[in-house]
A and B are shown apart, each in its own frame.
Chain A
Amino acid sequence: MIQVSHLVKRFGSFTAVNDMSFEVEAGTVLGFLGPNGAGKSTTMKMITGFSRPTSGQVSVHGHDIVDDRQAAQARLGYLPEGAPCYEDMTVQGFLAFIADIRGCRGGQRDRSIDRVTETVSLREVLGQRIETLSKGYKRRVGLAQALLHDPDVLILDEPTDGLDPNQKHQVREMILNLSEQKIVIISTHILEEVSAVCSRALIINQGRIVLDDTPDGLRKRAKDHQAIRLRVMDVDPSQILEVCETLPSVDRVEISGKDGDLLIFPKPGSVELLAELQQLLSAKAWQVARLQQLEGQLDEVFRRVTMGDAP
């Protein structure tokens, strides 16, 4: 378990992380979401013991990151932003160095290197110098070193940044395949990533946690959650709008800007909207060109909570 309590980091007069507290249980994939400069990386740097908190505590499986740093770090795997590594080394040499430092020796070392090169598909470049590798491979080398000692806690700072869609998919698959007993914290500003891999998300803005919820929970906060998008052939949208507004479950109806679709928002808590609408459509004998119930847009929630409006 990771416990973060009242964490603060100041650089001069600038407060990067402002009184942040949360706990993460084993089996959680936690997403740090937030605009650039929100304090995601700074928080990760403090959890991994690289940067010293101005005040507040972090403990990793009971080990305080300041007072008992090495014990905490032994249980952590960390991919820093941009996946830096020693580029003049070969992949094999670099992983062997990390394994030595992590205390994997002899046969165990070879097995660990074997395992991670398999997990992140590095076998074909093991003998190459890291500086000659493509960005995707470099990122995989960074992931490999983080996974080498099979840590209980994985901190990955923008693990898919700069990768192509196939590579992004691979990394996400890998994160999902990690043992259920681990804690994984990833930071990202890609919202689809949160839906794809996270079981919980923290939205961070200006050094504070502004939302803490599951991806589904976040989506439920979207204005268009459960709203219905409707297009009817050969009928004037304003005419449909008038009729729709009379339905008991309807809160309000908007005409969506560019394509003339209707967006029908249900009253909070009502579940009858779709049924009512279908009755109406068959009664009027309108021909439906499009009917879609929306799940809610994460980026709308994200924008709302990080642009200053209260959620």
Chain B
Amino acid sequence: MKSLSTIIKREFLSYFATPLAFVFILVFLVLSSAFTFYLGQFYERGQADLLPFFNFHPWLYLFLIPSVSMRLWSEERKTGSIELLLTLPITLWDAILGKFLAAWALIGLALAGTFPIWLTVNYLGQPDNGAIAAGYMGSWLMAGAFLAVGCCMSALTKNQIIAFILTGITCLTLVLAGFPMVLNFFEGWVPSLILDLIAGLSIIAHFIAISKGVLALTDVVYFVAMILLWLYLTHLALVAKAAD
């Protein structure tokens, strides 16, 4: 446990040693606000909730999360510092979880930075704050799932750009899996069981429920399972490729 917290601390502080953390948080705040107020028509809807805010998060995460995750392992492999890290007396899981949790905390911090939107909606009306809390929770869980995909892709390559693109494409596929255009494509020629599976894998389907304030156990389990699965794949990738 002590090694894990030491790694989390080092990783988290390293974001602030460069402008990365500030740029990330700034871009996140500017874009999420712009989406909410302009594209989401926050005022025009005349409803005291944060649906227009949360609705854009999957799309925002699609390129913001890979930009955080791409360096997690690629950079270590490129500079060779991975050799230093993995010859310290820690487990591989300490390293994987430490990096993941530090990056997830950074995203959590950016998400927490959007609190003026929450204040605004409370000033304008009487929103269901429980639903908003559920929305934040769901958004953070979804970010974790994207991030875990990013960890895995970053572990697969020394090239950060490739890691970025692979993460973006994989996450896009996971988001789109629940959309009618994808499901229509499969409908009729694959068994309905598979069709349900494809729809069930979709990030968007699970997030929509949460963003409306319904924090169902199945959705939480889905995101946690996604995170664990992709971190496990990260572990496999590192065992196979770290020393190449």
Chain A residues engaging chain B, CB cutoff 8 angstroms: 11, 45, 48-52, 70-71, 73-74, 76, 78, 80-82, 84-89, 93, 97-98, 100-103, 129, 145
Tell which of B23-31, B81-89, B136-144 binds the partner: B81-89
Query: CB-CB < 8 A to B91: which residues of A?
Result: 70
- Nearest CB to that of A41 among chain B residues? B83
Given A11-B244, A52-B243, answer yes or no on A84-B88 (Cβ-Cβ < 8 Å). Answer: no
Query: CB-CB < 8 A to A51: which residues of B?
Result: 243
Q: Is B120 an interface residue (CB 8 A)?
A: no
Tell which of B10-18, B54-62, B159-167, B201-209 binds the partner: B10-18
B62-120, CB < 8 A from A? 79-81, 83-84, 86-91
Question: A45 contacts which of B13, B88, B243 (Cβ < 8 Å)?
Answer: B243
- Contact yes or no, A87 B79, CB < 8 A: yes
Query: CB-CB < 8 A to A52: which residues of B?
Result: 239, 243
Q: Is B242 an interface residue (CB 8 A)?
A: yes
Question: A101 contacts which of B3, B83, B239 (Cβ < 8 Å)?
Answer: B3
Closest beta carbon of chain B to A109's beta carbon, Å: 12
Assembled-state Cα–Cα distance A74/B3 (Å): 13
Assembled-state Cα–Cα distance A89/B81 (Å): 13
- Contact yes or no, B18 A81, CB < 8 A: no
- Contact yes or no, B87 A48, CB < 8 A: yes
- Contact yes or no, A85 B84, CB < 8 A: yes
Q: Is B129 an interface residue (CB 8 A)?
A: no
Contact with A along B227-243 (1 / 0, CB 8 A): 00000000000010011
Q: Is B6 an interface residue (CB 8 A)?
A: yes
Assembled-state Cα–Cα distance A51/B83 (Å): 9
**8 chain-A/chain-B pairs, Cβ below 8 angstroms:** A52-B239, A73-B87, A85-B81, A86-B14, A88-B17, A100-B6, A103-B2, A129-B17
- Contact yes or no, A84 B6, CB < 8 A: no
Question: B88 contacts which of A82, A93, A102 (Cβ < 8 Å)?
Answer: A102
- Contact yes or no, B88 A98, CB < 8 A: yes
Closest beta carbon of chain A to B56's beta carbon, Å: 32
Query: CB-CB < 8 A to B90: which residues of A?
Result: 70, 101
Query: CB-CB < 8 A to B14: which residues of A?
Result: 86, 88-89
- Contact yes or no, B10 A84, CB < 8 A: no
Query: CB-CB < 8 A to B83: which residues of A?
Result: 45, 50, 78, 80, 84
Question: B87 contacts which of A50, A89, A93, A97 (Cβ < 8 Å)?
Answer: A50
Query: CB-CB < 8 A to A93: which residues of B?
Result: 13
Query: CB-CB < 8 A to A74: which residues of B?
Result: 89
Query: CB-CB < 8 A to A89: which residues of B?
Result: 10, 14, 17
- Nearest CB to that of B16 among chain A residues? A88
Assembled-state Cα–Cα distance A71/B89 (Å): 7
A-B interface, 8 closest residue pairs, ranked by CB to CB distance from nearest: A84-B80, A51-B243, A80-B83, A74-B89, A88-B17, A73-B89, A100-B6, A84-B81
Given A97-B6, A101-B88, answer yes or no on A82-B80 (Cβ-Cβ < 8 Å). Answer: yes
Given A87-B79, A101-B6, answer yes or no on A78-B17 (Cβ-Cβ < 8 Å). Answer: no
- Contact yes or no, B86 A50, CB < 8 A: yes
Query: CB-CB < 8 A to B80: which residues of A?
Result: 80-82, 84
Assembled-state Cα–Cα distance A87/B78 (Å): 13
Given A97-B10, A101-B90, answer yes or no on A50-B81 (Cβ-Cβ < 8 Å). Answer: no
Closest beta carbon of chain A to B216's beta carbon, Å: 40
Question: B84 contacts which of A49, A78, A103 (Cβ < 8 Å)?
Answer: A78
Query: CB-CB < 8 A to A80: which residues of B?
Result: 80, 83-84, 87
Closest beta carbon of chain B to A296's beta carbon, Å: 36
Assembled-state Cα–Cα distance A145/B83 (Å): 13
Query: CB-CB < 8 A to A87: which residues of B?
Result: 79
Assembled-state Cα–Cα distance A145/B17 (Å): 20
- Contact yes or no, B87 A49, CB < 8 A: yes
Query: CB-CB < 8 A to A49: which residues of B?
Result: 86-87
- Contact yes or no, B242 A50, CB < 8 A: yes
Assembled-state Cα–Cα distance A48/B7 (Å): 20
Assembled-state Cα–Cα distance A76/B83 (Å): 13
Closest beta carbon of chain B to A78's beta carbon, Å: 5
Query: CB-CB < 8 A to A82: which residues of B?
Result: 80
Assembled-state Cα–Cα distance A151/B102 (Å): 30
Most B Cβ at <10 Å: residue of A81, A88, A93: A88
Question: A84 contacts which of B7, B18, B79, B242 (Cβ < 8 Å)?
Answer: B79
Query: CB-CB < 8 A to B13: which residues of A?
Result: 93
Given A45-B243, A51-B243, answer yes or no on A86-B81 (Cβ-Cβ < 8 Å). Answer: yes
Query: CB-CB < 8 A to A48: which residues of B?
Result: 87
Given contacts A70-B90, A78-B87, 20 further A-B contacts (CB under 8 A): A48-B87, A74-B89, A76-B87, A78-B83, A80-B83, A80-B84, A81-B80, A82-B80, A84-B79, A84-B81, A85-B81, A87-B79, A88-B18, A97-B6, A98-B88, A100-B2, A100-B6, A101-B7, A101-B88, A102-B89
